[in-house]
Structure 1
């Protein structure tokens, strides 16, 4: 239709979904419509088009920001000056100047501190007093990550508040006693030892959350979004039972538990997951007569999305995750520095991490609109899909004895290991692309050094990092044995070069042409032990077999062809879009005697 036929004043011509489907069929050219849908590892199906018909909830059931079921936010409006707390994690004991780091963070715009005790085995009140010297604890909430210090570390912090005669009513913070995350990380049985003492000592501190229901702990071990929400719910209900056993009324117990979730690069999924978490929290609260209680959500940028390779890309990952968490209405957000996968946190990377939040708050003003994603048919449908599947999975956990039993009998660990394998398959085929790792690797950017103590949990990039570490020892080359002219071989040559670069191998591009002897001589002079034939299908048909034999004669250790498999005896392997990238690169490096530990 020409513009002359359209009157903008009378509106655009109406089109139905049937019209859209008809147009899509012409593009698909006989392929089934299902090729446009995507199924996540947890079974969530994403459609190519969302309409009013796919919108599962009404405005009434979704509620309004600040009102039950809190899907659209725990508050009616955000504080324009501080829409959410800008939290920064401090790994205690990693550096000699932890207090200086904390004061620098606070002066630079941080409004809450996450004290991570994972690098130490014990902590005393004196230690914390020195660590937090100069910190106004009634202004900057503290979020504890007790790790191995357990309840003793939490009690030491409570003793510090008493020592400093802090106003109990003015104090807010999150003690994060979490028997489930602790047991999961240590591969131990669940224990609530010390909770009785904690409840007694914190009785006069009503604004301190005692426990957390952490979905992030499971996310970091490989859980998919539905799993994360289901485990979070299971932890929430178990925590409620534990606190009620200590004499707390249901409403008091619920108010003393916060939620901890991950935020990752799946932008819309992160928004939907946080909205779903509030909806699911409300379902539990309603069942115990506390429908008016809204949750407090702390979001952490996903550690499994980060990589030591081309670490500056982690800034982009953190930005996407933070934007999603902010739009979704999280109360606290902690952004890991781009160097978090190593031991190299410094003033620059920490400043970038907190400035990411400051820019989103003060320049992008993303919190000026409450629930900005609300009303999007995609986000609303995704939120509801997550809630329905997570609730069903949560009920299954409860029906089989609860989260404690499933952690103790290793059922949870088995489920998480299976999810890790699912993600590894997606990473292997690049269906889950990792920029700077499996896509567009930059060999001129030195990777961050591996941490002195291996970090726990699962990360998508780990196996590629191991290959790059191996290759760094010898910096191997790969010769691109190109057939024909540049226009013919460049597409596959570029693909092959990027594939080998994921394993740290530098490409040497051949001159091309059809002189098989000259190509073999060029390979021999290149210093490479690995080669890949690159060209068009027609050129392969005419010359690939002869060239493969010639390269064998020239001493190639591993020979591949860029394209689908063919019946050529001298070819060791094939690289192509959708192929097994990781194992392909592993085989090539193995021919050079470079093999990673299993």
Structure 2
């Protein structure tokens, strides 16, 4: 008798009672001391929509109906299904060194460790104070940079602080010199003049000239090097300036549409133009938001392609994810590894084609081999051991992820339409409205950072005052002393301004300055985007504390006066220590005999005094304690408590400041720093 081949369905819900969402909410609220579940667990995003504690299919009807939900989901799935299967994503590494030969050594080490995609920052400006891009003064330096690197198996993408057309001509000349099959080379020349203008605040030449030349490069790519895109829409500068996730996506789409229009107006078909654009987008620490953001990006690009009449067989949107620079900290830098891991996890599940993680020591001017190894191993583990890349769209079907995706996509589309209605991204950038948008969004976020509603581990929460930066011996970024090919007076001559002529001039050793003569000597300027990081304000306080330490041999000291029993003062003592440490202030606990309080204060030599206990003990002993402290010249007196309506009474008594969970932590710490002379 043959075995039965009938398939059985396993019901995971079998044996469990069906519970509706309203019943679940009712049960939860019974356990709450006060308020509703929405009051306690619902939050509002910076993008303006609420996040609830639980999502079900019923919620879908509330945010547009099931048909609308399926429309978003199907577009995202269609886009993700175009990606290669079972290969994960590209492990991309970037470099922050001015010497091409030094970068080349690092590249070879990384490729041996699993990296298969390179993000190369290049410049020709030896006078720049930013010493973090490889200096290329001729094709000889680019040859040093890529010496021994297989450009057929490892994708190469440039971040050109010189014109993309210049680095492209050098790269094409080098590939031809090596007799490489150009059809097998892939990556991007990184042309993004609008993004570079936003980041630097200037662009040599006219923007329209750059766009026209990069469009000519795109046409050349299609015929000669189809695996490389001419344009790469990079919104990391906007994200670093503080824009919300929806604003970031809207800016990306508006920039891409601008590039599409230019390419089409210069003779490319719409299908060809779409293939010549890739994207680089920042992903932060919020895993679900990161997943939804990348899914929303694909939905938006699909919507634009439909509107342009693009054929479905043009291939996937090339979406490169990068650690959000604003999330990294200079303090307790090991936590940056956790931030990067979260970003990588989100990017992988969100369907990124490549992921770039910054070394955790990057902000210290340190790019050690160990730090780079950790960034690539983080990705290797998630791809090869966790097998995250083997599932297409793992977030699909999750009502929470789908809700986030749809909200981000629709709000981004609205912002995108607003940008287009006012003339597009370039017009908005030159007018200063993009900068205003970024600053407004940053100020909104800064409020939560200042009052610690958005805590940063190792910075505003659980800071480590005893941290010692263990920098490897070869970590110092050298001043620009690398041996570069000098720009000679008898530079080559340009026989023409077309791209083929540029390749010829580059192959003969033409300098970037000579190749840039295709542009006029005008200069396009705008207000550069201001760079921000979430922990920057707290780090400034810590820097002040470090200077105090250098001058006096110890950090500012807060004497914590513990009143009552251990159970009375411990909660507020722990809170106060963590609070003060975020401002670089050390703490020392005193549990003195009331009769010997003055003697204890005199012996301890603190810079300020913090009183900690329960409200009950305060009502009994606070007035006497403050009077004794004042009589012995204790200086600044801080009370660990929310004074509420009693603030005037307590200030009249002699209390100078109050620290508690609901105050503006940064403002209070800054006042303390100024009062004790730390600022």
TM over 0.5: yes
Q: Does residue 1:194 correspond to 2:210, yes or no?
A: yes
Q: Does residue 1:439 correspond to 2:454, yes or no?
A: no
Return the offset for 1:519.
3.2
Return the offset for 1:587.
1.2
> Equivalences for 1:330-349 in 2 at 5 Å?
330-349=352-371
8 Å Cα contact 1:477-1:529 kept in structure 2: yes
Q: Does residue 1:86 correspond to 2:168, yes or no?
A: no
The answer to which of 243-252 and 18-27 deviates more is: 18-27
Q: TM-score, normalised by structure 1?
A: 0.92
Structure 2 Cα separation of the partners of residues 96 and 164 of structure 1: 18
Alignment root-mean-square deviation, CA: 2.5
Unaligned runs of 5+ in 2: 1-11, 123-129, 480-528, 549-554
Give secondary structure in 1 for the equivalent of 2:171. helix
Return the offset for 1:174.
1.2
Deviations 1:282-318 (A, max 9, x none): 0000001115143010000111111010000011111
Q: Does residue 1:583 correspond to 2:667, yes or no?
A: yes
Q: Which residue of 2 aligns with 1:4?
A: none
- The alignment of Structure 1 onto Structure 2 pairs a total of residues equal to 582
Structure 1 Cα separation of the partners of residues 400 and 598 of structure 2: 55
Q: Does residue 1:328 correspond to 2:350, yes or no?
A: yes
Return the offset for 1:29.
4.3
8 Å Cα contact 1:297-1:330 kept in structure 2: yes
Q: Does residue 1:75 correspond to 2:81, yes or no?
A: yes
Q: Which residue of 1 aligns with 2:119?
A: 114
8 Å Cα contact 2:93-2:115 kept in structure 1: yes
Q: Does residue 1:31 correspond to 2:115, yes or no?
A: no
Q: Which residue of 2 aligns with 1:429?
A: 451
> Equivalences for 1:203-242 in 2 at 5 Å?
203=221, 204-242=224-262
Q: Which residue of 2 aligns with 1:5?
A: none
Q: Does residue 1:185 correspond to 2:199, yes or no?
A: yes
Give secondary structure in 1 for the equivalent of 2:233. strand
Structure 1 Cα separation of the partners of residues 243 and 235 of structure 2: 9
Structure 1 Cα separation of the partners of residues 559 and 42 of structure 2: 38
Structure 2 Cα separation of the partners of residues 150 and 504 of structure 1: 44
The answer to which of 245-254 and 352-361 deviates more is: 245-254
The answer to which of 438-447 and 481-490 deviates more is: 438-447
Structure 2 Cα separation of the partners of residues 150 and 270 of structure 1: 29
8 Å Cα contact 2:101-2:144 kept in structure 1: no
Structure 2 Cα separation of the partners of residues 64 and 361 of structure 1: 27
- Report 1 or 2 for greater relative contact order, CA contacts < 8 Å, sequence distance ≥ 6: 2
Structure 2 Cα separation of the partners of residues 331 and 282 of structure 1: 16
Of 95, 101, 118, 2:106 maps to: 101
8 Å Cα contact 1:57-1:380 kept in structure 2: no
Q: Kindly tell me: are residues 584 and 149 of structure 1, through their superposed partners in 2, closer, same or farther at Cα, counting changes over 3 Å?
A: farther
Q: Kindly tell me: are residues 228 and 157 of structure 1, through their superposed partners in 2, closer, same or farther at Cα, counting changes over 3 Å?
A: same
Q: TM-score, normalised by structure 2?
A: 0.81
Deviations 1:29-57 (A, max 9, x none): 45255322111122021111211012357
Structure 2 Cα separation of the partners of residues 561 and 9 of structure 1: 53
8 Å Cα contact 1:529-1:555 kept in structure 2: no
Structure 1 Cα separation of the partners of residues 37 and 542 of structure 2: 39
Q: Which protein is bigger by CA-based radius of gyration? A: 2
> Equivalences for 1:124-523 in 2 at 5 Å?
124-148=138-162, 151-188=165-202, 191-201=207-217, 202-203=220-221, 204-290=224-310, 292=312, 293=314, 294-446=316-468, 457-474=531-548, 475-511=555-591, 515-523=593-601
8 Å Cα contact 2:91-2:355 kept in structure 1: yes
Return the offset for 1:95.
8.4
Return the offset for 1:578.
2.7
8 Å Cα contact 2:321-2:355 kept in structure 1: yes
Q: Kindly tell me: are residues 532 and 9 of structure 1, through their superposed partners in 2, closer, same or farther at Cα, counting changes over 3 Å?
A: closer
Q: Which residue of 1 aligns with 2:22?
A: 18
The answer to which of 186-195 and 301-310 deviates more is: 186-195
Give secondary structure in 2 for the equivalent of 1:591. helix
8 Å Cα contact 1:124-1:153 kept in structure 2: no
Deviations 1:177-224 (A, max 9, x none): 112211111224782433433443443211111112233331111111
8 Å Cα contact 1:476-1:506 kept in structure 2: yes
8 Å Cα contact 1:308-1:341 kept in structure 2: yes
Q: Which residue of 2 aligns with 1:568?
A: 650
8 Å Cα contact 1:175-1:209 kept in structure 2: yes
8 Å Cα contact 1:88-1:354 kept in structure 2: yes
8 Å Cα contact 2:72-2:406 kept in structure 1: no
Unaligned runs of 5+ in 1: 1-7
Q: Which residue of 1 aligns with 2:49?
A: 44
The answer to which of 433-442 and 573-582 deviates more is: 573-582
